[in-house]
Amino acid sequence: MYKKVGSILLVLMCALLLNFQAAFAAQKLPDVVILATGGTIAGSGATSTTTVGYTAATVPVENLINSVPELKKVANVRGEQVCQIASENMTNAVWLKLADRINTLLARDDVDGIVVTHGTDTIEETAYFLNLVVKSDKPVVIVGAMRPPTALSADGPINLYNAVILAGSKEAVGKGVLVTLNDTINGARDVTKTNTALCDTFRAPELGYLGYMQDSKPHFYKESIRKHTAQTEFDVSGLTELPQVDIAYGYANNSRVMLDAAVSANAKGIVYAGVGDGSLSTDVKAGLIDAQKKGVVIVRSSRVGNGIIARNGEANDDQLHFVASDTLNPQKARILLMLALTKTTDPQKIQQMFWEY
Ligand code: DAS
DSSP letters spanning 285-308: HHHHHHHHHTT-EEEEEESS-SS-
Residue 317 has pLDDT above 80, yes or no: yes
Question: Dihedral through CA 162, CA 167, CA 169, CA 175, nearest 10?
Answer: 110
Q: Kindly state whether residue 237 falls inside one of the protein's structural domains.
A: no
What is the position in ligand 1's atom list of the atom closest to the CA of 41? Answer: 8
Task: Give the residue from 228, 227, 190, 229 showing the smallest Cα distance to 210.
Answer: 190
How many angstroms does the Cα of residue 18 sit away from the middle of ligand 1? 49
The verdict on residue 288 lying in a domain is yes
Domain closes at, from 200, 231, 262: 231
Q: Looking at the structure, tell me whether residues 181 and 208 fall in a common domain.
A: yes
169 and 304 fall within a common domain: no
Pair 156, 283 in one domain: no
Q: Is the pLDDT of residue 252 over 80?
A: yes
pLDDT recorded at residue 22: 60
In CATH, what number is assigned to the domain containing residue 93? 3.40.50.1170
Among residues 172, 199, 231, which one ends one of the domains?
Answer: 231
- Asked if 340 and 312 count as a contact pair (C-beta separation under 8 A), the reply is no
Q: Mark whether 261 and 290 lie in a shared domain.
A: yes
Lowest model confidence (mean pLDDT) among 9-13, 69-73, 331-335: 9-13
221 and 350 inside one domain: no
Lowest pLDDT segment from 4-18, 178-192, 203-217, 296-310:
4-18
DSSP assignments along 43-77, one per residue: -B-SSTT--SS-B-S-S-HHHHHHT-TTHHHH-EE
Indicate which atom in ligand 1 lies nearest the CA of residue 146: 7
Cβ neighbours of residue 259 closer than 8 Å, sequence gap 6 or more: 248, 270, 272, 284, 287, 288, 290, 291
Whose CA is closest to atom 8 on ligand 1? Answer: 119
Residues 51 and 198 in one domain: yes
- The Cα–Cα gap between 168 and 350 comes to 34
Ligand 1: residue whose CA is nearest its atom 9: 119
88 pocket-lining for ligand 1 (C-beta < 6 Å): yes
14 found inside a domain: no
**How many angstroms does the Cα of residue 30 sit away from the middle of ligand 1?**
29
| pLDDT average, residue stretch 295-302 | 98
Query: What pLDDT is attached to residue 26?
Result: 54
Cα–Cα distance list, 4 to 8, 9, 279, 334 (Å): 6, 9, 84, 71
CA 39 – ligand 1 centroid, Å: 4
pLDDT at 4: 79
Q: Percent of the chain having pLDDT more than 90?
A: 87
Task: Give the CA distances from residue 341 to residues 14, 86, 245, 267, 350, in Å, rounded to whole numbers and listed in that order.
Answer: 56, 28, 9, 11, 8
Q: Which of 209, 231, 253 is the last residue of a domain?
A: 231
Q: Is residue 5 part of a domain?
A: no
pLDDT digits (tens, 9 = 90+) for 49-74: 877 877 788 899 999 999 999 999 99
pLDDT value at position 20? 65
| Count: domains in the chain | 2
Q: What is the mean pLDDT of residues 209-219?
A: 98
**Pick from 336, 338, 343, 334: which is nearest to 357 by CA?**
336
- The residue among 308, 344, 329 whose CA lies nearest residue 247 is 329
Which comes out higher in pLDDT, residue 6 or 285?
285
Ligand 1 pocket, residue 211 CB under 6 Å: no
12-59: pLDDT as tens digits: 777 776 676 666 655 799 999 999 999 999 988 777 887 787 778 889
Which ligand 1 atom sits closest to the C-alpha of 121? 9
DSSP codes, 6-22 = HHHHHHHHHHHHHHHHH
- 204 C-alpha vs ligand 1 centroid, how far in Å? 19
Q: Which of 46-50, 98-102, 317-321 has the lowest mean pLDDT?
A: 46-50
346 shares its domain with 222? no
Nearest alpha-carbon partner for 150 in 60, 69, 59 = 59
Strand-pairing partners, residue 217, are 214
Q: How far apart are alpha carbons 309 and 58 in whole angstroms?
A: 40
What separation in Å is there between the alpha carbon of 328 and the centre of ligand 1?
A: 22
Amino acid identity of residue 283, one-letter, is D
What range defines the domain where residue 322 resides? 245-356
User: Do both 225 and 249 map to the same domain?
Assistant: no
- Substitution candidate for ligand 1 out of 84, 87, 147 with most atoms within 8 A of CB: 87
pLDDT at 50: 76
CA 293 vs. chain centroid, Å, equals 33
Residue 23, in any domain of the structure: no
Ligand 1 contact via 317 beta carbon (within 6 Å): no
Q: 3-state DSSP call for residue 157?
A: helix
With a 6 A CB cut-off, is 121 part of the ligand 1 pocket? yes
CA distance 298 to 292: 6
Q: Are 250 and 281 in contact (CB under 8 A)?
A: yes
Name which residue sits closest to atom 3 of ligand 1, judged by CA. 119
Model pLDDT, residue 23: 60
- pLDDT, tens digit (0-9, with 9 covering 90-100), for 118-129: 999 999 999 999
**Residue with CA at minimum distance from ligand 1 atom 7:** 120
Structure letter (DSSP) for residue 143: E
The CB of 40 under 6 Å from ligand 1? The reply is yes
Residue 39 Cβ inside 6 Å of ligand 1? The answer reads yes
Residue 190 in any domain: the answer is yes
In this structure, are 175 and 224 located in the same domain?
yes
Segment (H or E) for 187: strand 184-187
Q: Is 224 helix (H, G, I), strand (E, B) or coil?
A: coil
Question: Of all protein residues, whose CA lies closest to atom 1 belonging to ligand 1?
Answer: 86
- 222 lies in the same domain as 296: no
Closest C-alpha to 151, from 196, 195, 118, 199: 199
In a domain, 206, yes or no: yes
Q: What span, in angstroms and rounded, lies between the C-alpha atoms of 61 and 156?
A: 13
Q: How far is the CA of 88 from the centre of ligand 1 (A)?
A: 7
Spell out the residues 6+ positions from residue 217 whose beta carbon is closer than 8 angstroms to its own. 165, 169
Classify strands 192-193 and 202-203 as parallel, antiparallel or unpaired.
Answer: antiparallel
Predicted pLDDT at 54: 76
User: Domain check: are 178 and 72 in the same one?
Assistant: yes
Does 81 score more than 90 pLDDT? Answer: yes
> Does pLDDT of 318 surpass 60?
yes
Among this protein's residues, is 282 annotated catalytic? no
7 found inside a domain: no
**Same domain membership, residue 217 and residue 282:** no
Which CATH number belongs to the domain containing residue 257 in this structure?
3.40.50.40
For residue 190 and ligand 1, the question of a CB distance below 6 A is answered with no
Give the Å distance between the CA of 194 and the centre of ligand 1.
14
Give the three-state DSSP class for 269.
strand
